């Protein structure tokens, strides 16, 4: 009889979900506590790599579905490059991107999602099963296989160093007295010195100082013997900023699968083509294969994605010579009376199955 009283006195349990605004606040707080993270994505190096991924996926050949349009492929590439994940709700009208999501798993595999769908007048929340959600992940580990990690997250030290160097250079060029000098002049009146200061053009923040001979001598200089102006510009070469910046940029490029030679101004055509082949074969095509596998499982049709042929990520001259050699070999085998089965077996030995 007293159960209703015990239920009345029982404390109310409140639970909060990490979706929407709350998740953004928690993520910002985590970034503030753990230090600067993800800020390297503001640099031109990272955005150049993201643009290469985006362009490569937009040019890819997609077979087996009409949902993976070029715009959708470009957005998937950008999302994966910056966050390591891309989540899309599969609808009759196409793929709808999700800005935030909660996931429930069983045996490490997603079972259901609660998605935040962006809208112009305000977002909405949708609950969907795993079969209705296209979820691409890269860099997932065995601890959290349902979460992907971006290249910047996996190389956060290099990204933080790149951000620190570029921020330091930006602050230096903004606040340092670049081009300013201390020029010793004969002692004159205060008005004449002010007039002389105003006569100089290109002063940076009024940091140009003109000293008289007496003040220069008192400061330990000998303007009579050596009247060379003293530079106030910082000597950045001794800080090895150029070498540090180049090393950080090369590290970020390699994290995104881009050879540093692609960003070298001295690179020629063969080096650029080799860098493009490296990016397409070892970075973009494996991610495209993961996306094709996920789309095949969720869309119910065999999906194939090829990034190598549209990007011409192969040696055209080498392929032409190989084709000529194959045709010549087949003609010689036919003239020699070798059975086609033996020719096919020989081709399989050199990995020419097709």
Structural domain for 75, as ranges: 33-84+150-176+235-314
CA distance 159 to 152: 6
Asked if residue 207 and residue 334 are part of one domain, the reply reads: no
Strands 133-137 and 85-91: antiparallel
The first and second tokens of residue 110, run together, are 């997603």
DSSP string, 22-57: HHHHHHHHHHHHH---SGGGGSHHHHHHHHHHHHHH
Are residues 294 and 270 part of one domain?
yes
Give the end of a domain, one of 233, 253, 269. Answer: 233
Out of 78-87, 94-103, 149-158, least confident range: 149-158
Tokens 């909060």 -> residue: 16
Give the pLDDT confidence score for residue 207 in this predicted structure: 46
- Indicate if 198 and 325 belong to the same structural domain: no
Q: Which of 1-5, 11-15, 35-39, 50-54 has the lowest mean pLDDT?
A: 35-39
Indicate if 168 and 187 belong to the same structural domain. no
Name the domain count of the chain.
3
CA distance 104 to 183: 71
User: Tens digit of pLDDT for each residue in 252-296?
Assistant: 899 999 999 988 888 888 888 889 889 999 999 999 999 999 999
Number of Cβ within 10 Å of residue 161's Cβ equals 18
Q: Which of 189, 208, 233 marks a domain boundary?
A: 233
Q: Same structural domain for residues 76 and 157?
A: yes
DSSP character for 202?
A: S
Query: Do 308 and 240 belong together in one domain?
Result: yes
For residue 22, being part of any structural domain is answered with no
Listed in sequence order, the residues at least 6 apart from 23 whose beta carbon sits closer than 8 Å to its beta carbon are 100
Mean pLDDT within 223-240: 68
pTM: 0.71
- The predicted structure's pLDDT at residue 8: 57
Mean pLDDT of the 60-85 span: 93
Tell me if 192 sits within 8 A of 175, measured CB to CB.
no
Judge if 167 and 244 occupy the same domain.
Answer: yes
Owner of token pair 């085998």? 333
How far is the C-alpha of 173 from the C-alpha of 261, rounded, in Å? 28
Instruction: Name the strand (E) or helix (H) holding 106.
Output: strand 100-106
What tokens does 281 get? 């074969």
Residues 6+ apart with CB under 8 A from 31: 37, 38
């Amino acid at each position: 009889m007293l159960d209703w009283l015990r239920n009345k006195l029982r404390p109310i349990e409140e639970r909060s979900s990490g979706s929407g605004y709350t998740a953004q606040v928690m993520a910002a707080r985590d970034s503030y506590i753990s230090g600067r993270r993800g800020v390297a994505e503001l640099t031109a190096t990272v955005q150049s790599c993201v643009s290469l991924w985006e362009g490569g996926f937009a040019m890819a050949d997609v077979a087996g579905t009409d949902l993976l349009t070029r715009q959708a492929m470009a957005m998937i590439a950008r999302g994966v490059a910056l966050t390591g994940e891309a989540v899309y709700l599969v609808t009759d009208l196409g793929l709808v991107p999700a800005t935030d999501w909660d996931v429930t798993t069983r045996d490490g595999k997603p079972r259901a999602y609660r998605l935040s769908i962006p809208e112009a007048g305000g977002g909405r929340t949708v609950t969907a099963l795993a079969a209705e959600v296209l979820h691409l992940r890269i860099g997932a580990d065995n601890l959290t296989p349902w979460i992907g990690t971006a290249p910047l997250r996996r190389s956060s030290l290099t990204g933080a160093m790149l951000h620190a160097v570029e921020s330091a250079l930006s602050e230096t060029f903004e606040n340092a007295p670049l081009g300013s000098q201390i020029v010793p002049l004969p002692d004159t009146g205060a008005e004449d010195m002010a007039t002389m200061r105003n006569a100089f053009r290109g002063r940076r923040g009024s940091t140009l100082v003109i000293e008289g001979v007496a003040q220069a001598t008192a400061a330990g200089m000998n303007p009579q013997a050596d009247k060379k102006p003293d530079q106030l510009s910082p000597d950045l070469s001794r800080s090895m900023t150029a070498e540090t910046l180049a090393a950080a940029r090369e590290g970020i490029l390699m994290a995104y699968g881009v050879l540093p030679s692609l960003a070298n101004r001295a690179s020629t055509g063969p080096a650029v083509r080799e860098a493009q082949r490296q990016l397409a074969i070892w970075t973009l095509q494996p991610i495209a294969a993961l996306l094709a596998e996920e789309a095949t499982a969720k869309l119910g049709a065999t999906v194939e994605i090829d990034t190598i042929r549209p990007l011409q990520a192969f040696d055209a001259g080498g392929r032409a010579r190989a084709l000529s050699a194959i045709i010549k070999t087949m003609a010689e085998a036919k003239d020699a009376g070798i059975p086609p089965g033996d020719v096919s077996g020989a081709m399989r030995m050199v990995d020419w199955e097709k």
